[in-house]
Each structure stands twice: as structure tokens, then as C-alpha cells.
Structure 1
Amino acid sequence: MPDGFSCTRELTGPLATYQEQLGGKLVYDSSQLPAIKALDSLFLQLCEQHANPAEPIKGLYLWGDVGRGKTFLMDLFYHCLPQEGKLRLHFHHFMARIHKALEAHSGQQDPLVIIAKELASECRILCFDEFFVSDIGDAMLLAGLFDCLFKQGVVLVATSNIPIQRLYENGLARHKFLPCIALLQRHTHSLHLDGEQDHRLHLLHTDPHETRIKPRSKYVGISGELDFSTIFTELTKNTPATVIRENSINICHRDIPVIRATDIHSEDSLVWFDFYALCEGPRSQLDYMEIAASFNTVMLSGVPQLGGQVRGWIKARGTEDGIGDNQAASTGERIVSYAVDDDMVRRFISLIDELYEQKASLYLTCDVPLAELYLEGALIFEFRRTYSRLIEMSQYQDPLSSR
């Protein structure tokens, strides 16, 4: 336990904080009550454990559909805790940190134990958002990492769109991930937010004949008719011409073509990408993390209608992922199903996740209305979160009206 961690009853707990916010912007949702009460109970257990460190505590795994308030509730709990001894990260950022730490401890015996002890010295409570495992490298690490973290007494609070038992559901070599599922089930209480309200949509009032979205957030302007040249010129009118480039920027030690961009990390930093330059090529989550951290505003033009008919493809050879007898097991070929553009869609989802997480401003032009952007493909479930986030991030007024 970090030396500075001290959770006391003098602090206002999550339930009281939640109740104080009702009647303002917070919309009452009875389906959230079990979750906020569970978080409040966890908060009180942590206060009591400060006096009795030997008492073990189970964390919480909050899961449910998009917009049900999982992140809001977890963050409310997080901000009620004392400043010391807590860590809150998006799951992708958490895994990026773990991979970086593994590089730093390369060659040492039991590096996961070292990393877990380092994390435990930093935080008593580990919160991460959007727990969703799709990478086999991450899947192989997590069981050993969580085992070490739980042995160090770290308490986990996580959010996800899916229940614990469905994590990495169709992943390669999933049987090697099952110990991680068992650990999560043993060390967290799983709680389903099963309400029917999407809280990101509460303050929206849409006209069925209007193709643009009338919204509530300051982060984004979305339209099929935005004049990006005019917007870029207006947004950079106080920026010296010498710091504006029209070729490429270096992200994660690779050049990515841009239409225009200011210097990275400059005041009012701005970058304008073509969709295909950013989502068609070999881009990773790390690229999008660096872009979101480097630029205050991102402009993305030419987003096509995405997705298409789902087909079966031979993806890899080997039978370690437990494919069925009718799925080419006799030849060792692994068959997966997805639409031809789904690799681009997955990158687009990752990009929006990072811009949302880091609160970057976004301007977006699409070939079709947003509601028609992705209607068919293997990522319908994942894209629902993206659509909900774009709705939340959007603003109806002229993007230059406040300038």
C-alpha cells in the first residue's frame, strides 16, 4: 500500500456525491443505483481497511451497453478517493504502460512480479476504462500480471461492454486466457448496468430531416459540408506560416501524410488528415495515442461509408485456438469472419477512443450521415460505442461561431 494512501470517513463517498448531483445535469436512472451503492460499499471497505489492512477486498467489474454511465460512475468513485494511492487509465493506455515496463525490465527474472510491485507501490486502487482484449500479446500477459497485482493487494475497478466470461471470446489461443478470467471472477464483483437509457443522448434534440447532429458537447463538430480549408485557416490565423506544414508529421518514429498541420505540442496545435492516410495503412493504437496527446484539434476528412458484407477468411494456420471440425481443422487453417473494410473500421474505432479519452477537438466529414456510417460488418457491437461517442462529442453550431 502506498504510504500516502488514507481513505477516511471524513471524505464524501460516491453515493452522497451522486445524490448531490441529481437534479442538475445528472439524469436519474434507477438501473445505476446498484452500481453506485456497490462503489460506495467499496469506498467504505477501503476506509475500514486502512485501519485493518489484513482484511481482503474484492474490486468491481462494471459492464453494460454503451452510454449506461459506467465510466461516469467509476470516475465519480475515483474522484471521491484521496489523491494518493490511486491510478486511473484507459485499458489501452494501461497495456501500453505494461509493454513499456517490460522493455525496461528486459532480461530480468520474473519481470511481471517487478512491474506488479512497482504498480502496487504507486496505487492501492487501480481503475481502468473500456476493458476489451483483442490482442493475443495482451491476452498472454494479463493472467500473470493480475495474479501478481492481486497478491500485492491491489484492488481493481474496471468498466467494459461485455461480461467477464466473454472477454477475448473469439481470440487466438483463448484457452491460455481462461486463467485471467478466473482471477477476475475471484477478485472482483461483476455488476451489470442493464438500463435502457443512453445517457450520451439525453441532451440531444434531433430533427429527422436534418443530417447534422444537434448536441451537447464542446468537443466536436460533425457535418458532411464543413469547409475544412476555411476552418483550418481560421483556426490558425494567429499561427506563423513558418510552423504550418503540408507534407507529413512523424508519429511513433514513422511519417504519416497530412493535408496540413501545425507544429506538434504547439499552442492550439492542429492537424488535418485524410481518412485513408490515418486508417488504411499499418497504424496502431500507439499512433492514435500520440496524435491525441500531441494535437489539441484533429480534422479528419473523407470518411467513407464503412463496413460491408461479412465473409469467412483464412486468417492463420494452427489449431491452438480450438476451432471446430467444420472450420478447416483438418488442414490447420483458422477461419475468421469479417467485412473487407473492417481493419480500417477497427483503426477508426481506436482513433475515436483516443480522441475521446484525451478530450481532443474533432472535425469530421463523412460521405454519408453519421447514423449510416457503419451498418454492416463484424464490428457492429464495437462501433456502437464509437457512434455514441461521436454523438456526445458533436456540436451543431457553426464551428467558427464562437471565435
Structure 2
Amino acid sequence: MTTDLLHLYRAKIVQSQSTELTSTSQVILDDPAQTQALTALNQLFIQLNQQQDTEPLSKTEQSANHSPQALGIYLWGDVGRGKTFLMDMFYSHLNTSRKLRLHFHRFMAEVHQQLNTVKGINDPLVHIAHLYADKYQVICFDEFFVSDIGDAIILGRLFEHLFNQGVILVATSNVEIKRLYASGLQRERFLPFIELLTKKVHQIELKGLTDHRITQQSIKPLSTQLSLQPIMEQQSFIELAGRYYPHEAAVCTTHDTIIICNRPIKYQARVNKLIWFNFEDLCDGPRSQLDYIEIASLFEHVVIDEVPQLGGEVRTWIKARGTEDAAVGNKTGERQLSYATNDDPARRFISLVDELYDQKVSLTVCSSFNINQLYSGGALSFEFRRTISRLVEMKRWNEALK
């Protein structure tokens, strides 16, 4: 019998509201905007599960019988509106093993790694698309957001071949399809992909007015939830370790390094899968999403100390072409970039929080600024709103151990 997502959603609402509320309870509110989005998502969900209930089709038959209306759903809206919640409910109850759920940046990291291993193959993106299509019927992306010219160029051809082989995409994003990579370098090369997505997936906006991550904090005063511990001291870290690993807290390694992506990163202290980094060592240097993916896979609890106020006054910088741009065939000359001095570490911090959140790694942030003061001005104000929302929810996770 095929499960109905709308029934599951209503059952979760009843269950959450009938449970005694605590500081760590997750209250699921009946949100009309979520119900509207879930109705469309449910149609795809039922269609896919009914296919699984009948005789399995070969990949050739699946492609031949595939209708354009079934190639995917694109959920977009403001932060905390429940996009990830709805997609994860869809994914977890989907009755097939041929499914993949990843943060979008992790997927792109995988694709780049595969490109490095298939050098010499004619049209490697076709080869990679076949690899995914052979393993997965459905691919779910959380936080679809393109900011890199390399990703922008890859996506069009990769998804053209994935869609041609009947792969279904379900994605969440904070921006509508036509605004993806809105101010990116050489955006004209990305426009065919935008046209492809617009044709192939059903775009649904979650128009709700409630940030459900923040709403969870209504059990306690919001100002209390947004405050941060100013600094992490050795004794405080040992006490924290005692909550996670009560029999190992005394065995604390301090001021050492770990090897991440074949490079050393300094840390302040470590107990088992709890580690304490200084912000500068983790985010103010040549680090990438791959570093944060590996850290999230190695640790269950991360502490980041001395987080400064990020962003700042936006300035226009002249950047010469011909360095990293040469790989995509730019003409020589100069281009203008507008960003704040602290936007590079802010971008890394956003990536770090996204990866830890996606992998359910708890995070303790120490700063002399409150969460809603961590970013001031700068060119990443839109992206950092998601980070603030996630930091609030991750702070709630930590309350479970108190």
C-alpha cells in the first residue's frame, strides 16, 4: 500500500503537539504554505512508489515511459520555511533503494573528484551522468545554490544527460530558478541550464511567513537563545566533553594538529569525536568545502572559538583576469568584484555550518557577538540569513545535553 505524504505530515503535527514540551522539543506547526507544496510533492511521491509496487521496469523502459511532468520538484523560499523538512520526509519514505540525498555542495564536490579520475575519457560529463543514472532514479539536493563559475559550467551538460536518462531531481533552494547564479561571472553560459530546469521541474515557492527554526525557540525567550558564550576556556571544554564522553573527558589532547584533505589544521583541544578549533585556523585561510565535508565525517561535536564579526563595508575590487579564470577561457583584462574584507572567511563559515548541519554534527560557536550580530553588511547578507537560522536550531540541539 502506498503511503501518503499528506497523512504523514498531519500525523507528525498531531504527535508533536501532543508531546510534553521541553527546551528541545520540535513543534511542527500546521503551515498552509507547506501543505500546498506538499500536495505537489506528494503527486510525484505516489507516482514513484506505485512504480515500485508494480513489476520493475528496465532503465530503457523507464526512459521510454517517462513523462516530462515527472522529472522533478524545485522547492524554494525564505530560510526556515520547511523546505528541507518536506524533502527529507519525501526521501525517507520513498520506497526505492535507487535514491540519493546530498547537500548540493557535497554533490558538486563529488562531481569534481570524479572529473579528476576520468581524465582522458571522451566527454567525461556523459560518463559521470551514466554512473549516477545507473545507480539512482531520484536525486535530492538540499540548498541548491550556485556561486562558482566551474560549477555553473558543469551543471548544464551534466543535468541534460541525467534528465535524458530519466533521473528525477528534487531540490530545495532559497532562490527561484531564474535567480540562480544571478550576479555570477559569465552568467550567460549558465542560462541554458536555467532554461533546462524551468522546463524539466515543477517549481514551488513556500510562501509561509514563519521561520520554523526560530519558532522552535518560542519555548524560551528568543534573546536567550541567540546569546553566545564569549570564549571557550579549557575548563569549559572539559565540562562540555564530560557531557558527551563522561569517561574520557580527562584524556584531553591540546594544541595539536589533524590532517584534513592532506593538510594540517591546528586545533585547541580534542576528546574523542569532540574537537575545538579557533575560527582563524578553520575559516580564515585556504580551506574549501572538501575540508568541511571531511571534518563533518570525522567528528560529532565541533567547537569554534573567537568568531569575529564578519562582513563589513562592501568595496569594489579590481581583479585581473587570467589566473583561475583562464580555465574557462576568459579574455585578458580586468573585472570588478564587490565584497567586504571579511566576506571570504564568512563564505567559508557559511559552508562549514551548512555541512555540519546537513550531517547533524552539533556546533558550539563562541563569540563576543550574538548570533544575529555575526554578520554586518557585506555582500553575503542573503546567504548568511540561512546560517543564522541554522545556528539557532543547532544551539537547540546542544540543549539536549544540559
Indicate the TM-score class for this superposition, using the shorter chain for normalisation. 0.7 to 0.9
Distance change (3 Å), C-alpha of 1:11 and 1:303: same
* Residue 229 (structure 1) aligned to one of 210, 227, 234: 234
* Residue 252 (structure 1) aligned to one of 250, 254, 261: 261
Q: CA deviation at 1:316?
A: 3.5
Q: CA deviation at 1:139?
A: 0.9
For residues 74 and 148 of structure 2, what CA distance do their matches in structure 1 show? Answer: 20
For residues 400 and 383 of structure 1, what CA distance do their matches in structure 2 show? Answer: 27
- Conserved? CA contact 2:231–2:368, under 8 Å: no
Amino acid at match of 2:5: P
- Conserved? CA contact 1:49–1:55, under 8 Å: no
- Conserved? CA contact 2:228–2:369, under 8 Å: no
* Residue 188 (structure 2) aligned to one of 175, 189, 196: 175
Q: CA deviation at 1:397?
A: 8.2
For residues 397 and 84 of structure 1, what CA distance do their matches in structure 2 show? Answer: 32
Q: CA deviation at 1:135?
A: 1.1
Amino acid at match of 2:378: G
Q: Using structure 2 for the length normalisation, give the TM-score.
A: 0.85
Q: What's the % identity of the aligned pairs? A: 49
- Conserved? CA contact 1:223–1:366, under 8 Å: yes
Who is 1:359 aligned against? 360
- The question of 1:386 aligning with 2:397 is answered no
For residues 83 and 12 of structure 1, what CA distance do their matches in structure 2 show? Answer: 13
For residues 66 and 202 of structure 2, what CA distance do their matches in structure 1 show? Answer: 16
* Residue 28 (structure 2) aligned to one of 21, 26, 29: 26
Who is 2:273 aligned against? 269
For residues 374 and 192 of structure 1, what CA distance do their matches in structure 2 show? Answer: 26
Task: Write out per-residue CA displacement over residues 340-366 of structure 1, whole angstroms, 9 at most, x where no aligned residue.
Answer: 111011111111111111111212111
- The question of 1:126 aligning with 2:128 is answered no
Distance change (3 Å), C-alpha of 1:11 and 1:45: closer
For residues 398 and 152 of structure 2, what CA distance do their matches in structure 1 show? Answer: 43
Amino acid at match of 2:33: S
- Conserved? CA contact 1:130–1:160, under 8 Å: yes
* Residue 108 (structure 1) aligned to one of 92, 97, 121: 121
* Residue 295 (structure 2) aligned to one of 291, 297, 300: 291
Residue correspondence of structure 1 range 156-167 to structure 2 within 5 A: 156-167=169-180
3-state SS of paired residue (1:394): helix
Distance change (3 Å), C-alpha of 1:369 and 1:127: same
Q: Which moved more, 1:55-64 or 1:250-259?
A: 55-64
Q: CA deviation at 1:298?
A: 0.8
Task: Write out per-residue CA displacement over residues 259-314 of structure 1, whole angstroms, 9 at most, x where no aligned residue.
Answer: 1224xxxxx41211111111111110111111111111111111112211111111
* Residue 15 (structure 1) aligned to one of 6, 10, 35: 6
For residues 90 and 183 of structure 2, what CA distance do their matches in structure 1 show? Answer: 32
For residues 84 and 273 of structure 2, what CA distance do their matches in structure 1 show? Answer: 28
- Conserved? CA contact 1:249–1:258, under 8 Å: yes
For residues 231 and 237 of structure 1, what CA distance do their matches in structure 2 show? Answer: 14
3-state SS of paired residue (2:306): strand
- Conserved? CA contact 2:268–2:276, under 8 Å: yes
Q: Which moved more, 1:331-340 or 1:232-241?
A: 232-241
- Conserved? CA contact 2:232–2:305, under 8 Å: no
Amino acid at match of 1:390: L
- The question of 1:350 aligning with 2:326 is answered no
- Conserved? CA contact 1:11–1:80, under 8 Å: no
Could you list the runs of 5+ residues in structure 1 that have no partner in the other structure? 1-9, 215-221, 263-267, 322-329
- Conserved? CA contact 2:156–2:192, under 8 Å: yes
* Residue 43 (structure 1) aligned to one of 45, 50, 59: 45
- Conserved? CA contact 1:269–1:294, under 8 Å: yes
Could you list the runs of 5+ residues in structure 2 that have no partner in the other structure? 17-26, 55-60, 326-330
Who is 1:84 aligned against? 97
Q: CA deviation at 1:398?
A: 7.6
3-state SS of paired residue (1:28): coil
More helix by share: 2
Amino acid at match of 1:34: Q
Amino acid at match of 2:305: S
- The question of 1:66 aligning with 2:79 is answered yes
Q: CA deviation at 1:233?
A: 2.1
For residues 259 and 246 of structure 2, what CA distance do their matches in structure 1 show? Answer: 24
Amino acid at match of 1:345: A
3-state SS of paired residue (1:157): strand
* Residue 184 (structure 1) aligned to one of 197, 200, 214: 197
Who is 1:55 aligned against? 66
* Residue 301 (structure 1) aligned to one of 293, 302, 305: 305
- Conserved? CA contact 2:71–2:163, under 8 Å: no
Distance change (3 Å), C-alpha of 1:95 and 1:192: same
3-state SS of paired residue (1:286): helix
Q: CA deviation at 1:137?
A: 1.1
Distance change (3 Å), C-alpha of 1:273 and 1:45: same
Q: CA deviation at 1:207?
A: 3.6
For residues 297 and 312 of structure 1, what CA distance do their matches in structure 2 show? Answer: 38
- Conserved? CA contact 1:304–1:367, under 8 Å: yes
